[in-house]
Amino acid sequence: MSSVEERSPRFPPLLVLCFGLLAISFSAIFIRWAQDEDVPSLVIAAWRTLMASLILWPFALARRREELGQLGRREWRLAFLSGVMLAIHFGSWISSLAFTSVASSTVLVTTSPLWVGLLAPVFLGERLSRPLKVGIGLAVVGSVIISVGDLVVMENGRFFFDFSMFSGGSQTLLGNGLALIGALTAAVYFMVGRSLRPQLSLLSYTAVVYGTAALCLVITTFLAGYNLFGYTPRAYLLFLLMALFPQLMGHTSYNWALGYLPAAYVSITILAEPIGASLLALLFFREIPGIPVLAGSLFIFWGVVRASQPERILETEPIG
């Protein structure tokens, strides 16, 4: 199947990525509000993707029916894999926000550019450059600082480890772990998208991928014993806002950019999401990031900037 993208994009890709970043920064805020309405995390993830799919599919069938009918097995397999990864990403990350802070969750979930670099040699036959290796190391250090930061307590000027959270109290480590799973699955989602998007129109790609993610999440929700109905009108309004802004405007902007830019560049853009999400959390929830989050964020920022030096993200070796 030949590429459907124009040689020159209609809009500057970096401008589109900035627009998408602004939309996605509201994601954690909408999710936290929905959780305040006693909506389970899986239900939030299911409704977010389901509403986005219900909006997209009528347009896809009206305008891209022929293209969808010509998709081969390879395209369907890749689109299905991308949708499954997106479903796991949303399910794990949204669940993490019920256990850890907005700042910790968004910082950890946005380490995906580094995992793109780690997975590239395996799936794309690309050798990691030295800057990327250094960047991955710095980001891993930052992730560890954030993940174990809640174990460190200062008392009378001395630091010590407090393991009381394992006795049934805080579940922060669980939340941080779920956020990291969200980062890994997002990395696969970006890599698969980069492979498929230049061959498929944005509308067809997003309709199939979001639809697959919605189907997976709806089935998982029912298997987990949750109901999709019976929540407050405010909760359903929040589901719609999540579908319109973070999903359709935010993720779709990223998917559009994947038709023109490498996955590593697109995924690196999400580095700024924790900044926007943390500022919004401070504004709406008065949630002030702790020292471990700030220190870990600095390492992650340093690592991604180091890894994303122009034209040296990856050194590619011929395949075959």
Model pLDDT, residue 128: 65
Sequential pLDDT tens for the chain (320 residues):
544 454 567 788 878 888 888 888 888 889 889 989 999 989 999 999 999 999 999 999 999 999 999 988 999 999 999 999 999 999 998 888 888 877 678 778 877 877 877 776 777 666 667 776 777 778 777 777 776 665 565 556 565 555 454 444 457 788 888 999 999 999 999 889 878 888 889 999 999 999 999 999 999 999 999 999 999 999 999 999 999 999 999 999 988 988 887 776 677 666 666 667 777 777 787 777 777 777 877 887 787 677 666 544 444 443 33
Question: Residue 315 CB: number of other CB atoms within 10 A?
Answer: 13
For the entire predicted model, the pTM comes to: 0.77
Model pLDDT, residue 7: 54
Model pLDDT, residue 294: 78
Model pLDDT, residue 140: 73
Alpha carbons 114 and 107: distance in angstroms, whole number = 12
Model pLDDT, residue 312: 41
